[in-house]
Chain A
Amino acid sequence: MSGYYLGFDIGSVGSKAVIINDSGMVASSVIPSGTNYATTSAAVKAAALQSAGLQESDITATAATGIGGRNAGADSYHGVIICDARGVNLTFPTARSIIDIGGQGSQLITMDEAGQIINFNISEICATGSARLLQVVARILQTGMDEIGPLSLKATKPSNFSTSCTVFLETEVITRISQGDKPEDILAGIHRSIADKISGMARGVTLQEDIVVIGGGALDSGLVQSIEEKLGMKMLVPDNPRLMAALGAAVIARETKT
């Protein structure tokens, strides 16, 4: 009987757990991270086990990543870059670059055909380069996170913003609303702001196709399109872009035991 391996990704916004066996993903779960990473880790693990119909004793090895990953009680902890690369390599063997847009920052990663990292660039100093800006704007527009993408694709004249700071953008979005800008145009303008930041980061690394967009930001089809336009390159998005780092952690757990 083949073993089961569990990967955690305890992020700033969401916590994810993925269970794999020798042939691939068996089950997964995603819950909000909250403030106690240890409790959250236990809960997200329990949810994944339940979904797989497994007991804790069925798990051969565990590995964790993410800002709260050290509190997950896993057998090992790994950086998010390496986990992203492993998860994406398993999902898209042709992938050579990754754009990970998370709640606390973004990562650009380039890798070879074996999923070995060539170069990377991390931005976690500015909310505008992260999915956090989307949350802030969604709250002002009273739009669900899952509605942002489809809505923004209806934009006819994207709003222009004079600032790239999330705090100042918050004010500017309200000004634009008062001037009659449509929500879809505001969102499209915000997507451009994020795409600009990402393309600035891309100066440090040479992105090569296939490029895979992952993280919470990848769920926003409007943002992905905006990045495609800005970089002039086609992007791939996995079915479950938020799970890639947890999947990668599970792959690493499996590697350590085989």
Chain B
Amino acid sequence: MNDLASELFFAGIDIGSTMSKAVITDANNVMRSYVVGPTGAEHRRRANRVMEEALGKAGITLDKIAYIISTGYGRVNVPFADKQVTELTCHARGVASLFPDVRTAIDIGGQDAKVLRIKNGRLVDFLTNDKCAAGTGRFLEVAAETLGLELNEMGRISLQTDTPVKINSLCTIFAQQEIISRLSEGQPLPDILAGVYIAIATRVVKLARQLRVETPVVFTGGVAKNPGMVKAMESVLGVPVLIPQEPLITGALGAAILAREQAFQLIQRGEYDTHREKMLSEAYIEYGEGSG
């Protein structure tokens, strides 16, 4: 590694449907900072903000960032990114950097779920669900709303029981009604909550089994932060799952790792521009007429 390369930093920005994440790494692939914030309606502003915050936390300026890769469903709305890469590729790289032996990665996000088969750190196969809210974080949000609970307290309460109620509905809308019926029947809240987690886990594991589940299994995404969900996942899968310290940022981390590779390739070919101008532009998404 030459002097130029050792002083450079790299960034990955993952704009998900619910949360936006930024990760800054250095020349040794060591994470210098990360930021997680809600996505909201204005992706571009959010991309700027998480990037600014990540720079602030790392104590570096934008001109020190050699290469930026954006990923996630809002990746086209990161105007300062050098390249866009699909979340599946980034996610696989991020997970494999934390768990080099990983064979199966299960990610449950705010509005989707993905199952990745990974071998030698590379993505070999995947399946996703973004068509149906059941089996995504959205199902949990609907359940929390129905019960008037916070997402994190739901997890804690569900751990109080080992006898989950069976939720039969495969559809989030019908499950919502079923939750109300179970409550009115007098079923204990922890049992209902545990049943909600089992219902999501069952949906996602069904997707995973189409690919064949090999261990070790890594579980990521915002939903992996929920202890009730983790317990349900292990119980339905029948094997323990590994969870990163910060399960939301694996996609952004993978993007930063890929950004470092890209930058090093440019440097090697002598194509890296050390004087390029970079700025965070606060562009808004322009909607059609009537956006007000």
> Given contacts A163-B131, A165-B132, are A125 and B291 in contact (CB under 8 A)?
no
Q: Give chain B nearest CB distance to A164 CB in angstroms.
A: 7
Task: Give min CB distance, A46 to chain B, whole Å.
Answer: 23
The answer to whether residues A179 and B288 also contact, given A126-B132, A168-B133 and a CB cut-off of 8 A, is: yes
Query: Which one of B6-14, B77-85, B171-179 is at the A interface?
Result: B171-179
The residue in chain A whose Cβ has the minimal distance to the Cβ of B141 is: A167
How many residue pairs link A and B with beta carbons under 8 A? The number is 51
Query: Are A132 and B173 in contact (CB-based, < 8 A)?
Result: yes
Query: Are B170 and A35 within 8 A (Cβ)?
Result: no
Q: How far is the CB of A169 from chain B (nearest CB, A)?
A: 10
Assembly CA distance A12 to B142 (angstroms): 20
Residue A127, interface by CB 8 Å:
yes
Are A125 and B170 touching (Cβ within 8 A)?
yes
Q: Give the residue of B139, B170, B173, B181 whose beta carbon is less than 8 angstroms from that of A166.
A: B173
**Interface size band for B:** 20 to 34
Complex CA distance for A12 and B111, rounded to whole angstroms: 27
Q: Quick one: which of A125, A132, A163, A180 contacts B289, CB cutoff 8 A?
A: A180
Contact A168 B287 (CB under 8 A): no
| A12 engages B131 (CB within 8 Å) | no
Question: Restricting to A140-192, which residues have a CB under 8 Å from any CB of B?
Answer: 163-168, 178-180
Complex Cα spacing A126 to B138, Å: 15
Q: How far is the CA of A167 from the CA of B174 in the complex (A)?
A: 11
Q: How near does chain B come to A139, taking the closest CB pair, in angstroms?
A: 12
Q: Are B287 and A179 in contact (CB under 8 A)?
A: yes
| Contact A167/B288 with A12-B177, A104-B174, A127-B171 known, Cβ cut-off 8 Å | no
Count A interface residues, CB 8 Å. 18
B146 → chain A closest CB, angstroms: 12
Q: Say whether A136 faces chain B, with CB atoms less than 8 Å apart.
A: yes
Q: From DSSP, what is the main secondary structure of chain A's interface residues?
A: loop
Residue of B whose beta carbon sits closest to that of A35: B184
A132 to B171, CA, bound (A): 12
A125 contacts B288, C-beta separation under 8 Å:
no
- For the complex, is B59 an interface residue (Cβ under 8 Å from A)? no
The answer, yes or no, to whether B148 is at the interface (CB within 8 Å) is no
Which of A12, A104, A126 sits near B170, CB closer than 8 Å? A126
- Is the CB–CB distance between B287 and A125 below 8 Å? no
Question: Main SS of the interface on chain B?
Answer: loop
The answer to whether A125 and B171 touch across the interface, beta carbons within 8 angstroms, is yes
Q: How far in angstroms is the closest Cβ of chain B from A190? A: 14
Residues of A within 8 A of B132 (CB): 126, 165
A contact residues around B288 at 8 Å (CB): 179-180
- What residues on A are CB-neighbors of B270 within 8 Å? none
Q: Mark B157-179, 1 if CB is under 8 A from A, else 0.
A: 00000000000011111100100
Q: Are A164 and B131 in contact (CB under 8 A)?
A: yes
Using CB atoms, name the residue of chain A closest to B287: A179
Name the B residues within 8 Å of A165 (CB-CB): 131-133, 172
Establish whether residues A180 and B290, one from each chain, have CB atoms under 8 Å apart when the complex forms.
yes
A35 contacts B181, C-beta separation under 8 Å: yes
Known: A35-B184, A179-B288, A179-B290. A136 touches B131 (CB 8 A): no
Collect the chain A residues with CB atoms within 8 Å of residue B177's CB.
Answer: 12
Distance between A170 CB and nearest chain B CB, rounded to angstroms: 9
Centre residue among B138, B139, B171 by max chain A CB count within 10 A: B171
A103 to chain B minimum Cβ distance, whole angstroms, is 10
B106-150 vs A, Cβ < 8 Å mask (1 yes, 0 no): 000001000000000000000000011100001100100000000
Report B256-292 CB contacts with A as 1/0, cut-off 8 Å: 0000000000000000000000000000000111111
Q: A95-132: which residues lie under 8 A (CB-CB) from chain B? A: 104, 124-127, 132
Q: Which B residues lie within 8 Å of A125 (CB)?
A: 169-171
Whether A167 contacts B142 by the Cβ 8 Å rule is: yes
Looking across the interface, which residue of chain A has its beta carbon closest to that of B139? Answer: A167
- A136→B142 CA distance, assembly (Å): 14
Residues from chain A with a CB closer than 8 A to the CB of B184 are 35
A-chain residues with CB within 8 Å of residue B181 when the two chains form the complex: 35
Does B138 contact A167, Cβ atoms closer than 8 Å? yes
A177 to chain B, nearest CB (A): 9
Our pick among A12, A167, A180 for the contact of B172 (Cβ within 8 Å) is A167
Least CB separation from B112: chain A residue: A168
Q: How far is the CA of A35 from the CA of B290 in the complex (A)?
A: 42
30 A-B pairs in the complex with CB atoms less than 8 angstroms apart = A12-B177, A35-B180, A35-B181, A35-B184, A104-B174, A125-B169, A125-B170, A125-B171, A126-B132, A126-B170, A126-B171, A127-B174, A136-B173, A164-B131, A165-B133, A165-B172, A166-B173, A167-B133, A167-B138, A167-B142, A167-B172, A168-B111, A168-B133, A178-B290, A178-B292, A179-B288, A179-B289, A179-B291, A180-B288, A180-B291
Given A127-B173, A132-B173, 14 other A-B residues pairs in contact with their CB atoms under 8 A: A12-B177, A35-B180, A104-B174, A125-B169, A165-B131, A165-B132, A166-B133, A166-B171, A167-B133, A167-B142, A168-B111, A168-B133, A178-B292, A179-B288
State the 3 A-B residue pairs at the shortest beta-carbon distance, nearest first.
Answer: A180-B290, A167-B133, A127-B173
Write the residues of chain B forming the contact surface with A, with a CB cutoff of 8 angstroms.
Answer: 111, 131-133, 138-139, 142, 169-174, 177, 180-181, 184, 287-292
